[in-house]
Structure 1
Amino acid sequence: MEILSQNKETEQARDVFGCQQTETCQQYQPSRAVDGYINTFMRQRGRIAGFSLYVSNTTIKEDGYLCYNNGQELPALNFSTTCVKHGRYVIFYNERLDGTRYPTGYQTSHVYTELCEVAVTGCKESGVYGNNCDLPCPNNCQELRGDIVHGTCLGCTAGWMGEFCNTSCPAGYYGLQCGSTCTRHCRDNLFCNHTTG
């Protein structure tokens, strides 16, 4: 089996800071990837050390949810994590700040990131969850959206609450997140409808 990416020249390799002056650009080509070059392997781990992953509906990481934050240790290059969040963007973030002391192994100068493959998986259809995406989400999940692993709702339709949106609002309340209070104008002093009020 031939690995095509190893046989392809990359233009970005010539952009590595200082490599043209030192004539070392060839060491950043795909043919020199981690498949047997332990120094390259450790250098790559040192460059991505300390990274974070966010899921957000905007391009601003602070608006999103922190899914993963690498700790003090050097991360594995073949990295996988589960983050069950709904969003439009997956943001990879890493920084090196002047004057900050980093753990051993962190590369702190001329740091750049090479992401070979990023896979974001989920069910193709909304309203389902599970390993085979064949279990229906509860009927009262908002937009029929649920956690793709456990089926818990990401939000409830009006009048419902709980992880699976299977509990109606308590007496005297109605609407989204059961946040509205019923008025005392219902016939026969009955409580209002938990969905419409």
Structure 2
Amino acid sequence: MLWKKTDNHPTAATNCNVDESENLALNKTTSQLNPFLRNKWGADRAVDGQHSDLSSEGGQCTVSAYGKSTAEWRVDLEGVFNIQYIFVQYRTNNMVWDENHPNTGTFMGFSIYISNTTKKEEGMLCFKDTNYTRDTIPNPFTIPCRIFGRYVIYFNNRTHPPFPSGYSMFAYNDLCEVEVYGCPALDSIGEDCPSPCPDNCLQGQCDDIHGTCVTCLDGYGGQRCDQKCTDNTFGPNCTNTHSNCSDGGQCDHADGGCSHGCDNSTHDGYASCPSNRYGNNCQENCSINCKDPERCDKITGHCEGGCQVGWKGSRCDRKEASDQSPTSSSEYHLSPEVIYSIGAMFIVTIVIIIILIIKIRGMKRHSRENNRKDNDEHVTKTEASYDFYDTIPDDYFGYHVLAEVPKISTYGVLHENQNPSVALDVNKLNV
């Protein structure tokens, strides 16, 4: 059995003795997806071996950021191990753990993955809570998880509302301690892991209790991989079969190869040739001159559907004879349809050119006539202006010969009339 998952705690009868096994996670490298702002609650707090103070201020617990929809924490065991079970202690703030505890809702729904990479998707799901409620979820929690792996990953999420009853709105990984127990070597079995796995187990991995291999090396089968493949079977766990060796003999138990070659239409003795190959061990290429290029019978190489124009033979590898020299110009004759098309295009082109010439000439003629008309109108206007000036009388612009104005002696006037009022009038006149 590769791995086992139950609701019961592991016992000495089915697992390595916990008291005598090593905590594989102790002080190993850790990381978390959404750490809190302060380093005092770092991911390493969960593997420091301390969980006497389960509060956030005790310095022994990891605390993740608030308000996140996913929470993820992992420890690197720094090697692939035969894991037995995992111990998880969640943060309680040193309060009684029951249905009224505020952290039960954040613990519910968590998962544990075992992986050989840092990605949980590339590993195996060890445990996922789908049934616990606030008043039934245990803390601390011991999880049987018999899987080979390097990374132990704690995961929780709140990404698909509505959530089950009792769940918190956000996800957290407030872990005070995570301990991983199992055999520290891949090649050990038994209650205290003293015995090596069978020789033909792939990568030396086997069930820690019974010694059955996870999978076998190529060419071997059986629970302990101690049976050599027979009856034309080969590969890991003897799961591949074929009967294509040319002499009808047994193929190689590991890779399926044939000591005296393979039948036609097969590749490496067991796989059918690809569509563009044929022959013994698929060594020949189908002709590119097949009507369907590079597709032929996998045994004979005969083209499927005949040959392309100019080729003949069952494999389309011979060129058809020609009555004319390859360099003769008649080899490159044009079909009547092409000639008709070229002729029509030529005629249309000529007609278009003629129409353009006629239009250009008409435009030039029209332009010259407009210029001549404009010149005639200008000359007519100029002559008309000269005739107008000839008809104007001499006094049209108001010029007249002025007569001599007689001078009046104011002195004589003043002395001829001594009337003051008259003199006054004369003064006004002089003004």
Q: Which residue of 2 aligns with 1:68?
A: 127
1:43 corresponding residue in structure 2 = 102
- More moved, 162-171 vs 79-88: 162-171
Task: State the partner residue of 2:163.
Answer: 101
Q: CA deviation at 1:100?
A: 1.4
Q: Identity across aligned pairs (percent)?
A: 31
Partner-residue secondary structure (3-state), 1:62: helix
Over 3 Å counting, the alpha-carbon distance change for 1:52 and 1:4 in structure 2 is closer
Aligned amino acid, residue 139 of structure 1? D
Aligned-residue offset at 1:190: 3.5
How many residues are treated as equivalent by the alignment? 178
Structure 2 alignment gaps of length 5 or more: 1-50, 68-90, 257-431
Deviation string for 1:30-78 (max 9, x for gaps)?
Answer: 89424xx346973222211011111112222222111111122132111
Gap change, CA 1:17 and 1:61, over 3 Å in 2? closer
Structure 2 counterparts to residues 81-160 of structure 1, below 5 A: 81-97=143-159, 99-103=161-165, 105-109=166-170, 111-160=171-220
CA shift, 1:126, in A, is 2.8
Q: TM-score, normalised by structure 2?
A: 0.36
Structure 1 CA distance, aligned partners of 2:195 and 2:141? 28
- SS state at 1:121 partner: strand
> SS state of the match for residue 119, structure 1?
strand
Residue 54 (structure 1) aligns with: 113
Distance 1:135 1:191, change over 3 A: same
3-state SS in 2 of match to 1:122: strand
Moved over 6 A (4+): 11-16
TM-score (norm 1): 0.72
Gaps of 5+ in 1: 19-29
For the aligned residue pairs, the C-alpha RMSD in angstroms reads 3.4
Contact residue 159 and residue 196 of structure 1 kept, 8 A: yes
Q: Distance in 2 between matches of 1:158 and 1:16?
A: 48
Q: Secondary structure at the match of 1:140?
A: coil
**1:141 to partner: Cα distance:** 0.7
- Compared with structure 1, are the counterparts of its residues 152 and 42 closer, same or farther at alpha carbon in structure 2 (3 Å cutoff)? farther
The one-letter amino acid paired with 1:78 is: P
Whichever structure has more strand as a proportion of its residues is: 2
Distance in 1 between residues matched to 2:62 and 2:121, nearest whole Å: 32
The structure with the larger Rg is: 2
